[in-house]
Amino acid sequence: MASLISKKFFCSKFKNIFKIAIFCFTALTVAGCEAAKDLNPWESYPVPPCPKIQLLKDTDVITVFRSGVGRDITDIRYEAEVNGFTGNCEYIGKKGLYSKVKLVIKVEFEITRGPAAQSRLINFSYFVAIPEFYPKPSGRKIFVVKVKFPENRNTVRIVDEEVEISIPLNGSRKGPGSEIYIGFQLTPDQLKLNRQNRQTPRIK
């Protein structure tokens, strides 16, 4: 039966994933580590770090305006921002040979209702993409999030349901070298706005 090994991680918009390497410092310690392998078989088969997950530049914020040409604060229906994500990865295999790595992530958002909003219900979309598999369908998937604002609140934070990712491994794809990106599904105009003016006044 294949071994199932889990390594947990946390990442926010402002933090990097830390990689921890355990090694022996002296010849005596090395000898001790070698002896310990007989007692703990997992020491012989180190678990690789999780694939790198990050927010795609300029897609971590979405601003949605009402129909028309107006583009100031009073024309904003809502704004949303990716605050970060949590999750874990599992390498599946045995004796240091892994056939795939499975990831589960949850993305956190902060959404603010704008002056031009006519409803307390909104929908937005975000994507999870693995560039090395794109443009195959398995390389990118879009998720729709539905938000309802309480009567007395115009800003809410939500955590979406778990997103499961499975990356097959082979001689050239080991796992840590794979990259996964998260971002909002933007229109060309929304992406242009993010790139041109990151200092646009916010409605928070």
Cα 39 to chain centroid distance, Å, stands at: 37
What does residue 104 show for φ and ψ, rounded to 5 degrees? -130, 125
90, part of any domain: yes
70, part of any domain: yes
32, part of any domain: no
**What range defines the domain where residue 167 resides?**
3-16+47-196
How does pLDDT run along the chain (204 residues), one tens digit per residue?
A: 333 333 455 556 544 333 322 222 333 333 343 444 444 554 567 889 999 999 999 999 999 999 988 889 999 999 999 999 999 999 999 888 899 999 999 999 999 999 999 999 999 999 999 999 988 888 999 999 999 999 999 999 999 999 999 999 998 999 999 999 999 999 999 999 999 876 555 666
38, part of any domain: no
Task: Identify any residues that bridge with 184 across adjacent strands, giving them in sequence order.
Answer: 126
Instruction: Find out whether 155 and 81 touch, Cβ atoms under 8 Å.
Output: no
Token pair, residue 51, equals 């694939």
Domain total in the chain: 1
30, part of any domain: no
What does residue 45 show for φ and ψ, rounded to 5 degrees? -130, 80
185, part of any domain: yes
Alpha helices (H) along 43-102: none
181, part of any domain: yes
